[in-house]
Amino acid sequence: MSPIANVTTFFTASTSRGILSKHSAQMYGEGTRVQRILAVYGTGDVFAFSTGRYRRFFDHVKQHWGERAKIVEIADGGHFWLDGRAMKCLLEEVEAFIEA
């Protein structure tokens, strides 16, 4: 599976070698193509898994990727294309991430 496919399926596919895994963090270490990662999710997303599952998953991502991973939780944020406030927060985070 390609790195992009792994990103889009990180909960449905095996995460042991997914793009956000410890394996990938080591493989794509400093000085490689993957320099930073941004993950944004809302706690009220009706299409998503439980917020607790997201938090646990992204805690592991932070352990493996360290400062290269920025994880943003939008309190009560719904699914981005259905929730205007969540979409605004998402776009602000992406813009700030790109400019950093």
Helix, strand, coil fractions of the chain, as percent rounded to 5:
45, 10, 40
Neighbours of 83 (CB within 10 A): 19
Q: Contact at 8 Å (CB) between 83 and 75?
A: no
Q: Could you report the average pLDDT of every consecutive run of 10 residues in the chain (100 residues)?
A: 48 59 72 78 76 85 88 86 86 93
* 11 phi/psi in degrees, rounded to 5: -100, -25
pLDDT value, residue 17: 66
Domain regions of the chain by residue span: 3-99
Strands 69-74 and 37-42: parallel
pLDDT value, residue 1: 46
pLDDT value, residue 14: 45
